[in-house]
Structure 1
Amino acid sequence: MPVLDGEQPKGHSDSQALPKLPVPMLEQTLDMYLKCMEHLVTPEEFRKTRAIVEKFRAPGGQGELLQKKLLERRDKTDNWVYDYWLEDMYLNNRLALPVNSSPVMVFPEQTFRDRSESLRFAAHLISGVLEYKAMLDGRALPVDYARGQLAGTPLCMEQYYRLFTSYRLAGLKKDILVAQKSSVMPEPEHIIVACKNQFFVLDVVINFRRLNESDLLTQLEKIAKMADNLDENLPSIGLLTSDGRTEWAEARALLIKDSTNRDSLDMIERCICLVCLDNASGVELTDTNRALQMLHGGGPENNGGNRWYDKPMQFVVGVDGVCGVVCEHSPFEGIVLVQCTEYLLKYMRGSPSKLVRAASVTELPAPRRLHWKCSPEIQALLGLVKNLDMDVFKFKAYGKNFIKSQRMSPDAFIQVALQLAFYRCNGRQVSTYESASIRRFREGRVDNIRSATAEALAFVKSMTDGKTSVPDSEKMKKLWEAINAQTNFTILAITGKAIDNHLLGLREIAQDLKMEKPEIFTDKTYQISNQFILSTSQVPTTVDMFCCYGPVVPNGYGACYNPQANHIIFCVSSFRESTETCSAVFVKALEEGLLEMRDLCCKWNMAAKSAEQKDPAARPVKNGSKP
């Protein structure tokens, strides 16, 4: 049912009531593409690109035809870019999921005196998951509304309903995102529990009754005891899911030749989620090391095989208190993960653990271990490489409250600081990705805010190359121009008018029409524009936890940040094998830049106050005119 103006929705939003994602005007996208790339390529490369773009947009040319076909596609589909985007961003990507694709949410560190306490935590968590899933199944989740820029708009809720009903099936050339279909007589719902690199089926509904928390604990204790008594040399089949997607698809094809393996795979692929009961990692439990445990489990010698990366939700409960969620990213965005995990943590804090031991009406059947028949070829494929350089950094000098006091957008301010840090480390600017939600539209996922603006470049140069020669008033003017450019691009992106999805749609329509790929998409500038050496995302939380992920290119950085009132958590990642990156060096440059930007704002405020005392008309206006 459509939500009327001023009416509060009582249940889930009807995605059909939301507007369709618009197709931006071709002229606007091409002009913006040129503006975004002019300062990121050489003058010669740009001259060539401009000529190619002008040819593409000429009346009667390729651009006009592809735009027309894209508008036709918009009329026929709920969301013209969704399938193109999903395949381009995820399903066609052949890189391994851990580190390269799967983000994680790191919970506050827990203190467990022994394994029994960690199992109690796991039982309480599973109880919360089942409560949340019941709310999803009843379509009773309250509608999300946009916050930040253009706040108050209802958002598409469809991503939530994929949290526990999706599975990413590895393919030789392209993966498939499988949506589970409910049958007339569904089998009892189950969770897969990973323990000591083996997988166990935990039925959460037995004899038409959902297990209570006490029963869940009983079953988890049985699983832990069964795992203790297993041969340590059993194959760690979960490691196969951490390989490249084509390699895992090949291994899976070998596995399913045997009926035992087929049955085991079926149970995993149809489960609600995984709960991974991890051994102690044996490392100092810093935020950085807890993040690494979530991202890759510490490798095969640790908890790396205690995972199944194709499943969207894997809750990790480590006996040493390292807990969190690993998510397969293709079904939903980070904000959906945040909302779900915040619900679970609040549930666990607000709902006391219900572990009054009572005799069950009937003795619960023992959970069952999944069995595998492992051929020599499969044994040869088991392995994992550790290459991730992660630095979780809590910047404590100030948080979003200070930035707001400057009448600036915290997100835009932090994005400019990231540009300053990268320039300080590398002496150049690079294509930057910042995810922007387009959930205001039917089936909306994300588009890209291109944060590497010409205005940001002018500002960072004034703070580095012109550190002593450029006056503070000019630096402040350039900072405001960079903030405004970032904010304006953000508004374009969240209202469906950014360039990346549009260009992707034009490219894919050309392929659908079996046209020769237009030159605009084979041009070097287009390749550079899509090499996101700096991949960023704001993932704010109201609960004490943080999100992180790996870089998206071998010589790049992943930078996830969580702005809080008086501090900012940054999770910066890179690959150790790259000679061009170092997370610690980037973090140091980021800290320096944030402090310099604060000092600049404070000096500007003092100068403005002094000027106002002398002449009240001299007070600069908030949008950043010169002091």
Structure 2
Amino acid sequence: MAEAHQAVAFQFTITPEGIDLQLSHQALRQVYLSGLRSWKKRVTRLKNNVITGVYPASPSSWLFVVIAILATMYTRSDPSMGLIAKIQEHLPNLWTGHFVCHIQCRTVVSAVLFSTLLWFSLIFTMRLCLKQLLSYHGWMFEQHGKVSNTTKIWAAMVRIFSGRQPLLYSYQGSLPNLPVPAVKDTVKRYLESARPLMSDSEYERMTTLAKEFESSLGNRLQWYLKLKAMWASNYVSDWWEEYVYLRGRGPLMVNSNYYGMDFLYVTPTPIQAARAGNTLHACLLYRRKLNREEIKPVILNVPLCAAQCERIFNTTRIPGEETDSLIHWQDSEYVAVFHRGRYFRLWLYHAGRMLSPREIEQQIQRIMDDSSPPVPGEAKLAALTAGDRIPWAQARKEFFSSGVNKRSLDCIEKAAFFVALDDDEQGMRGDDPAGNLDRYAKSLLHGKCYDRWFDKSFTVVVYKNGKNGLNAEHSLADAPIMAHVWEYVMTTDSFQLGYTEEGHCKGDVASSLPPPTRLTWDIPAECQERIERSLAVAQALADDVDFHVLPIQEFGKGAIKKCKISPDAFIQIALQLAYYRNRGTFSLTYEASMTRLFREGRTETVRSCTSESCAFIRALEGGESKEVCRRLFRTAAEKHQHLYKMAMTGGGIDRHLFCLYLVSKYLGEESPFLKEVLSETWRLSTSQTPLQQVELFDFINHPEYTTCGGGFGPVADDGYGVSYIIIGENMINLHISCKHSCPQTDSHKFGADIKKALEDLLELLSPEKPDPSKAEQSHSKKSKKDL
């Protein structure tokens, strides 16, 4: 056992002559280097905390303030207006010796203390000013190309108070808190969103319930929310995480987890171990940048909250019988790897340094060359994470709380992330590229139901033909956060790390690397029965998922912008039109919008089905003229953009109603209005995953390196889930999900309806081309008139 020998730092034996002590210098050196790396990380974290803590000032500005105060004192002026003298009076008498030296020392110390207090006061003032400036969102509601003087002045002030060279978390202390909307405003906007989906009698009844709630219980519940908003950083996020995610007792797989795909047309290498080597190394590079806070804050005219980034790595969701919990470790030097039913611990650091891609490739190849079979119950163990949460929590407590099983489970849960090496080949390939692309999506979403550890923050999946992908747990971070990681990993893998001509990772291999460690299990028959039951639940859920990935390459953002319409509004109205044609009715529609303009903000709902969009669709399907349809479309698009901006700036409906409902439950109060609103079904759930790091891609010189985005499962049993990503100027990728068990839904048919809707809208809005024959006649008449 080579790895066991490497783990022993010293050996000793007792002999008649005494104790014979043998030290392993190499093992001790590994311990030293590992500890040195840990201390370097602590120092870096401490330094970053200091820099972030004084932002928007810099630590060096303290010295400037001290020198400035001392300089003014030597000119015999008192900038402190007597405060330095007051401080000097209260200093303890620690100096002895010459009287003049004694006085000078006390004066200098008093001046330094005053300078420090002044410096902290300036930081507090600057941060308060920046927080007030970031609370202004009027810039979002101004027409494109028309900037008011107020916004111009605001932008200049933001630049002045924003400081220079911010770290990832530099703006966190300056971000405003999410405001609590007025109850009457939320009720009014809710009724407005519900109007196109209700008959006159239903709407009148709901209006009565809403007005009754607003005038009675609503104000009482609102008082508690305002109290929480004053005390907490965000009045929504902790409750949203707990009650929407962690208290859910159904499977995470399909219902909660989501996935991200590889490049659509390119697989950089067909060698599985090599692709894993570069991918894992790129993940480590991102984590190092994250730990050092070298990742630039996302700026959308104003900075966005980065709080979700903290738990991307070294995080696991732990099952509980009533509620799950998220556990995050400060560091982890290894990943857990699954291959052919076996689990391995793969160390990613050696001698205090990160393994190179070539070294990781070698280690992965060692795992793949290991021919040992899985022990009974090991192969399908991860099905426990794919099934219902209560059976998993009970099994974890009963069979994994001690002994070898606990040690192996701890190894998986404390890993930086999880890696699955699949024997399948996936991607857009072969004689059926469209069908294979759909199967690729399903594989990333749920796999075989036992080859992904769905509790880990994310699982990197690497297939036999070199294709890869990502499966992510939703409670700790939303899709744009993980998409940011995955964009970096994909582009770093292909454009920076690269491969040799043979397809292997670049670099050399250290000969002293210990092989990966096989995790050991002792899974009793009763536990194996629990695993099989969880697998049966998960398999039924996976088999029911109908998935379709639709790359649209005929047009994209460029064509939409020529119509002078927001691409997101354009696609959302197209989805409404497609759903109406598909189902013959309108549906309550969920579109995810972020609230990261505020501290610890996550998401809000844009109710995309509006009276304006319904009026447009009825007019279009009813055969109204182009002029009427265009006018109604632009009204609907403007309404959608307004709702999206309201959601981003804290004026959404659903998170406020959700929190009001929770408070009512805490108080033991029943509200027919809130109960009915919270029980509504989202039959059309949509989300855009924007491409965030456009500078990493080169769609002009390397159009084949096109990211495909990612998707999620259907929210309702009789509904659709639609994720879309706009790629460059000429491509839109759609990920459409529903369930086979619902006879009214079909992902492929809905995909065709969406594409047809997009084409019809483009035709409607595109400028009409002049008739060549008419233009020639007009030119002929003009020539005759000139003569």
Flag whether TM exceeds 0.5 (same fold): yes
Change (3 A) 1:112 1:473: closer
Cα pair distance change 1:540/1:606, threshold 3 Å: farther
* C-alpha spacing 1:444/1:94, structure 2 compared with 1 (3 Å): same
1:12 aligns with 2:161: no
2:637 maps to which residue? 483
Q: Distance in 2 between matches of 1:130 and 1:359?
A: 18
Give the distance between the partners of 2:509 and 2:351, measured in 1 at CA: 18
Residue by residue over 1:275-309, the C-alpha shift from the partner in whole angstroms, topping out at 9 and shown as x without a partner, is 21110248956321211111111x3xxxx322100
2:89 maps to none
Give the drift of 1:347: 1.2
Amino acid paired to 2:177: K
1:617 counterpart residue number: none
Q: d(CA) in 2 for partners of 1:566 and 1:209?
A: 43
Alpha-carbon shift at residue 322 of structure 1 (Å): 3.1
1:137 is aligned with what amino acid? N
Report the AA paired with residue 428 of structure 1. T
Q: Which amino acid aligns with 1:293?
A: S
Q: Output aligned runs, 1:84-483, within 5 Å.
A: 84-108=239-263, 111=267, 117-146=271-300, 152-180=301-329, 182=330, 189-227=333-371, 230=374, 234-281=378-425, 286-297=436-447, 299=448, 304-348=449-493, 349-353=495-499, 355-360=506-511, 363-381=512-530, 382=532, 383=535, 384-385=539-540, 386-464=543-621, 466-467=622-623, 470-483=624-637
Structure 1 position 269, deviation (Å)? 0.9
The answer to whether the 8 Å contact 2:318/2:324 transfers is: yes
Partner AA of 2:241 in structure 1: L
Q: Structure 2 vs 1, CA of residues 397 and 174 (structure 1 numbering), >3 Å: closer, same or farther?
A: same
- Alpha-carbon separation, structure 2, partners of 1:461 and 1:144: 40
Residue 38 of structure 1: how far off its partner (Å): 1.8
**CA distance in structure 2 between the aligned counterparts of 1:157 and 1:130, rounded to whole angstroms:** 19
Give the superposition deviation at 1:241.
1.1
Deviation of the 1:337 alpha carbon: 1.4
Sequence identity (%): 28
Q: How many Å separate the matches in 1 of 2:278 and 2:230?
A: 47
CA distance in 1, matches of 2:688, 2:551: 14
Q: Equivalent residue of 1:73, what SS?
A: helix
Instruction: Measure the CA separation in 2 of the matches of 1:244 and 1:305.
Output: 13
Q: Which moved more, 1:63-72 or 1:220-229?
A: 220-229
Matches within 5 A, 1:563-574: 563-564=726-727, 565-574=729-738
Query: For residues 376 and 212 of structure 2, what CA distance do their matches in structure 1 show?
Result: 64
**Counterpart of 2:679 in 1: which secondary structure?**
helix
The answer as to whether partners of 1:536 and 1:560 remain within 8 angstroms in 2 is yes
Structure 1 gaps of 5+ residues are 147-151, 615-627
Aligned residue pairs total: 582
5+ residue gaps in structure 2? 1-51, 57-129, 131-157, 500-504, 695-705, 779-787
Measured in 2, the distance between the counterparts of 1:239 and 1:41 equals 42
Distance change >3 Å, CA 447–CA 111, structure 1 → 2: closer
TM-score (norm 1): 0.88
Query: SS at the partner of 1:139?
Result: coil
Shift of 1:569: 0.9
Q: Matches of 2:769 and 2:627 in 1, distance apart? A: 11
Q: Deviations over 1:105-126 (max 9, x none)?
A: 1102554876xx2101111111
Cα distance between partner residues in 2 of 1:211 and 1:327:
24
CA RMSD of aligned residues (A): 2.3
1:620 corresponds to? none
User: 2:401 and 2:240 mapped to 1: Cα distance?
Assistant: 33
Deviations 1:242-270 (A, max 9, x none): 11222322332333255221111111111
The one-character-per-residue Cα deviations of 1:328-348 (angstroms, maximum 9, x if unpaired) are 011111111111111112211
Q: State the 1:595 CA deviation.
A: 1.2
Q: 3-state DSSP class of the match of 2:316? A: strand
CA contact (8 A) 1:23 1:496 kept: yes
Contact conserved, 1:9 with 1:143, CA < 8 A, in 2?
Answer: no
CA gap 1:400/1:416 in 2 versus in 1, 3 angstroms = same
Output the CA distance in 1 between the equivalents of 2:633 and 2:242.
Answer: 37
Q: Residue 766 of structure 2 aligns to a residue in which SS? A: helix
Aligned match of 1:585: 749
Greater relative CO, 1 or 2 (CA 8 Å, sep 6+): 1
For the pair shown, the structure with the greater C-alpha radius of gyration is 2
CA distance in 1, matches of 2:769, 2:173: 48
Counterpart of 2:153 in structure 1 is: none
> 8 Å contact 2:378–2:521 — kept in the other structure?
no
Indicate yes or no: 2:191 matched with 1:30: no
Letter matched to residue 723 of structure 2: C
The worse-fitting range, judged by mean Cα deviation, of 405-414 and 221-230 is 221-230
Instruction: Give, in whole Å, the separation in 2 of the partners of 1:234 and 1:510.
Output: 45
Using the alignment, how far apart are the partners of 1:476 and 1:427 within structure 2? 22
C-alpha distance in 2, partners of 1:463/1:244? 45
Pair 218,53 (structure 1): closer, same or farther in 2 beyond 3 Å: same
2:670 matches 1:520: no
User: Aligned in 2, Cα 1:230/1:310: closer, same or farther, shift over 3 Å?
Assistant: closer
- Partners of 1:40 and 1:604 lie apart in 2 by 34
Partner residue of 2:69?
none
Residue type of the alignment partner of 2:756: E
- Cα distance in structure 2, aligned partners of 1:112 and 1:397: 25
2:220 counterpart of 1:65: yes
Deviation at residue 485 of structure 1 after TM alignment: 0.9
Secondary structure of 1:140 counterpart? coil
**Is the contact between residue 21 and residue 79 of structure 1 (CA under 8 Å) also seen in structure 2?**
yes
CA distance in 1, matches of 2:243, 2:594: 17
